[in-house]
Structure 1
Amino acid sequence: MNSDGSRLDGQGAAGPRFGVEEEFLVVDQVTRSAVPRAEAVLRRAGERLGTRVCGEITKLQLETRTEPCHTVAELHGQLAEARVALAAAASAEGLRIIASGTPVLGNVIPSPITEGPRQDLGTATFRGLHDELSICALHVHVELPERERAVLVSNHLRPHLPVLIALAANSPYWAERDTGYASWRTLVWNRWPVAGPPPYFTSAAHYDEFVATLQETGALVDVGTVFWDIRPSAHQPTLEIRVSDVPITAEESALVAALVRGLVVAALAAVDRGDPGPVVSAELMRIAYWRAARDGLGGHGVDVRTGEAVPAAELARRLLRLAAPTLEEHGDLELVTDWLRRLVEGGDGATRQRRAATGSGGLAGVVDHLVARTAPPLASTPPLASAVSASRPGENTPTWRRFAGNGPRREESTPP
């Protein structure tokens, strides 16, 4: 047992624990263009965040991670703290950070890839796909050590993936122009050979056999390049849901994570009743992904179980209803409900980016909007700022090592 009375595997009344990885872009404070200076920011940010911050596949990006959390308040506190620390490190270098699924300004094609033998192998394997890797996502981990259950839970989560795309849609610009999409990152990412929604699996053995086949075909560099939007971790006892753009604010990231954990708990109950999950048409999933990426939270989505077009905001409310029992158990329901209401009323990230573009600053004004909202001072983010002090770096074992006792997980989460 842990000191708080919860089980060490994260299950039981206090579990499962969950956590988040957020990816950010580094931009010049004068030109507002994305620039390949992430390493300088990483050196400074590491002094405060330690292993909770790391580099990414391109020199334009950084990633922060939370430690495993029990409550939404704890998670939000860690997200807000890391964003503030990262912004301060960037500012000291004459730079800024932004939370956007794609760059707004800057010549980022081809992407400046970090050096290393694994990256070289990735470039040899995936070729031109490496040219457009300056994209930023939100990864949610939910503690689920039993791989058999994790694979079956994945089946239950598949129908909800398009809704999570719409909910966090935050990448309307690419190559300094408006794509007309709310989540262009989704379109860019889904061109990879092993990306998008995972197949339907009947067991962990079925999953492993299929991954082995992918390796034989040359579609993978290693198991770390299984980039499906849900995957059981190869190195940690978690299920990772990685379908969403990185949202503009820490509150939105915490909202997505809270909904995901609630969906996982609901799916676990179904799996334990013997339900292996619904079989959903791959063709309809493809259409639902496209519609969610195009229209975001303000448009219509596709209910993949019925084929019906439904307002995306209503589909998001359905997710909230499914997650509500878990949220209520942890005392998070009122907070998450309020966050979702404000998101629906204010618009998804893409809508707010476009709104900022209508000002006199144009796309530079969009970057300014993102800078201001990515990492506002902690004192301006009530009611959860007080939760930050509960999880300062150095007071606990770093990040996801607390789940499995092994090392950092860069080989798994970063394209080569």
Structure 2
Amino acid sequence: MGVEEEYFLVDPGSGRISAAAGRVLARARAEPGASDVLTGEFTRHQIEARTTPCATLAHLRTELSAVRRAAARAARAEGLRLCASGTPVLGEAAEATERAPGEEAGDGAWGTPVGDHPRHRAGVAQYRAMMGDFAVCAQHVHVHCPDRECAVLVGNHLRPVLPTLVALSANSPFHEGRDTGYASWRSVIRQRFPCLGPPPYARSLAESARRAETIAAAEAMLAPTLPFWDVRPNPRLPTVEIRCPDVSADLEGAVCLAALVRALVAEAIGAVGRGDPGPRVGAEELRAAYWKAARDGVTGNGVDLATGRAVPAAELARALPTRVEGPLEAAGDRQAVHAYVRRTLVDGPGAALQRAAAREAGPPGAVRRLVAATEGTSAKDP
């Protein structure tokens, strides 16, 4: 398994996001090894870090800690801090926005400083004002899969549990200074796009590809070979990629969530090998369960998509590692993953911790807590 994480760059004084990715990445390129693990993202408020493939929880923990340290060093060298939150807690810093040579303010991006990549520019041209606040940070988990056909069928098996992964990882209650009332506002922003969110059910890779071609023909997807569904065969790597979680400021939480995802994929691969194509869950019911998880996280009721009944979200969360005891035990991850779920149900996901910090010191206090957790420093550090 491997992990990609996206982070915001924030001003340490105001806590506001800063469009300085170009400077930070240039700084990282001067550090041995950092240029291999850090890259740009859709906006210049963000950077992305990636691990190498890892076989054990300990290896992933070491890798993810190292890439976070490299990213934090590069950000600090430019007078900024690293903040792992699904959405910006506060708006953009007041200083002049960094722009590419010859780029005017907004540059067709509806005010958003877009990263320097043709795909990002194409997204702005295609989706227009929908991209105006599309600055979101995720955790993507890659798990090795035998082939792309299997990866599509694995997606069928994972579809019913994706809302619970959203609830466990929810870490975006604020958006530009406002409490949205949601645990994962990032999920809400993504759900308005026709090609984001849970993947459609598909009986084969060919069926999935035909659907992607139809959506791309309607200009609702950039390219049929690059769907952005929450479970997809990665277009370049021999993995199935799970994209629904918010990025976690807590390193241990990020590592354990990845281990849980790996176990779910391992269980699904076994089912596919036995000829099980996965349960048919209606798209409407699945989107409703997503919305409920995005609003409430692990509190209140969630939707049990196997029965169609409302059940406590905590019950769904506790059931997730229980259903994959075998793969967790085989990987040596059982104890750590169960402890992660118990801890999340007691303390709440990242959204609850953000709100607790904001009650004490307002949204800037939430940013300080996020930066401290992301960088592994004390919240009292200057």
TM-score (norm. length: structure 1): 0.83
After superposition, the C-alpha distances for 1:93-144 in whole angstroms (9 at most, x for unaligned) are 1110110000011248832112354433222211112211211011011111
Q: Distance in 1 between matches of 2:254 and 2:348?
A: 15
- 1:377 CA drift (Å): 5.5
SS in 2 for 1:84: helix
2-side partners of 1:243 and 1:119: how far apart?
A: 20
Q: Deviations 1:60-119 (Å, cap 9, x if unpaired)?
A: 001000111111111111111211221122112111011000001124883211235443
Equivalent residue number for residue 179 of structure 1: 180
Amino acid in the other structure paired with 1:371: V
- In the alignment, what sits opposite 2:21? 38
Asked if the contact 2:257–2:337 (Cα under 8 Å) also holds between the matched residues in 1, the reply is no
Matched residue SS, 1:244: coil
Which of 66, 70, 78 lines up with 2:55 in the alignment? 70
Amino acid at match of 2:178: R
Match of 1:370 in 2: 370
Matched, 1:161 2:162: yes
The corresponding residue for 1:386 is none
Give the alignment of 1:19-38 within 5 angstroms: 19-38=2-21
Secondary structure in 1 matching 2:132:
helix
Give the Cα separation in 2 of the matches to 1:119 and 1:322: 39
TM-superposed CA distance for 1:146, in Å, is: 1.1
Letter in 2 for 1:85: A
Change (3 A) 1:193 1:225: farther
- What letter corresponds to residue 13 of structure 2 in structure 1? V
Partners of 1:224 and 1:284 in 2: CA distance? 27
Superposed CA deviations along residues 183-233 of structure 1, whole A, max 9, x for unmatched, are: 000000111121111111001111111112222222222246511111111
Q: Is the 8 A contact 2:7 2:46 kept in 1?
A: yes
1:243-279 deviations in Å (ceiling 9; x for gaps):
1111121111111111111011111111111111100
- Unpaired runs of 5+ residues, structure 1, are 1-17, 379-416
Give the SS at the match of 1:358.
Answer: helix
Distance (Å, rounded) in 1 between the aligned partners of 2:286 and 2:311: 14
Residues 1:253 and 2:254 aligned together: yes
* C-alpha distance in 1 between matches for 2:301 and 2:56: 31
- Aligned-partner Cα distance in 1 for 2:307–2:111: 40
The answer to whether the Cα contact below 8 Å between 1:21 and 1:139 also exists between their aligned partners in 2 is yes
Residue 54 of structure 2 corresponds to residue 81 of structure 1: no
* 2:274 aligned partner: 273
Q: List alignment gaps of at least 5 residues for structure 2.
A: 94-109
How far apart are 1:299 and its partner, in Å?
Answer: 2.7
Change (3 A) 1:225 1:268: closer
Contact preservation (8 Å) 2:209, 2:224: no
In the other structure, the counterpart of 1:242 is 243
Structure 1 residue aligned with 2:44: 59
Corresponding residue for residue 220 of structure 2: 219
Provide the secondary structure at the position in 1 that maps to 2:241: strand
Q: Which residue does 1:233 correspond to in 2?
A: 234
Task: Between 262-271 and 120-129, report the one with greater CA deviation.
Answer: 120-129
**Displacement of 1:313:** 2.0
Partner Cα distance (2:120, 2:327) in 1: 40
CA–CA distance in structure 2, aligned partners of residues 85 and 102 of structure 1: 22
Q: Does structure 2 retain, via aligned residues, the 8 Å contact 1:223–1:234?
A: no
SS at match of 2:302: strand
**Letter matched to residue 39 of structure 1:** G
8 Å Cα contact 1:26-1:97 kept in structure 2: yes
Secondary structure of 1:243 counterpart: coil
- Give the distance between the partners of 1:105 and 1:146, measured in 2 at CA: 42
Q: Is the 8 A contact 1:300 1:311 kept in 2?
A: yes
SS of 1:245 mapped into structure 2: coil
1:311 matched to which residue of 2?
312
**Structure 1 residues 88 and 115, CA gap change in structure 2 (3 angstroms):** closer
Please tell me whether residue 97 in structure 1 is matched to residue 82 in structure 2: yes
Contact 1:84 1:377 in 2 (8 A): no
Q: Deviations over 1:323-360 (max 9, x none)?
A: 2211211222112222222222111111000000111x
Alignment of 1:181-196 (within 5 A): 181-196=182-197
Q: For residues 156 and 117 of structure 1, what CA distance do their matches in structure 2 show?
A: 33
Q: 3-state DSSP class of the match of 2:297?
A: helix
Q: For 1:201, give the aligned amino acid.
A: A
Q: Specify the code of the residue in structure 2 equivalent to 1:66.
A: T
Judge conservation of contact 2:162–2:244 (CA < 8 Å) in 1.
yes
Distance 2:204 2:183 in 1: 35
Q: Number of residue pairs matched?
A: 360
The one-letter code sitting in structure 1 at the alignment partner of 2:160 is P
- Verify the 8 A CA contact 1:169 1:349 in the aligned structure 2: yes
Partner of 1:120: 121
Percentage of pairs with the same residue: 49
**Equivalent residue of 2:4, what SS?**
strand
Letter in 2 for 1:23: E
Provide the residue aligned with 1:337 in structure 2.
338
For residue 35 of structure 1, what is the amino acid of its counterpart?
S
Q: Is the 8 A contact 2:226 2:235 kept in 1?
A: no
Point out the more displaced range, 154-163 or 369-378. 369-378
Report the AA paired with residue 375 of structure 1: E
Provide the rounded CA distance (Å) in 1 between the counterparts of 2:322 and 2:53.
Answer: 24
Distance 1:138 1:21 in 2: 6
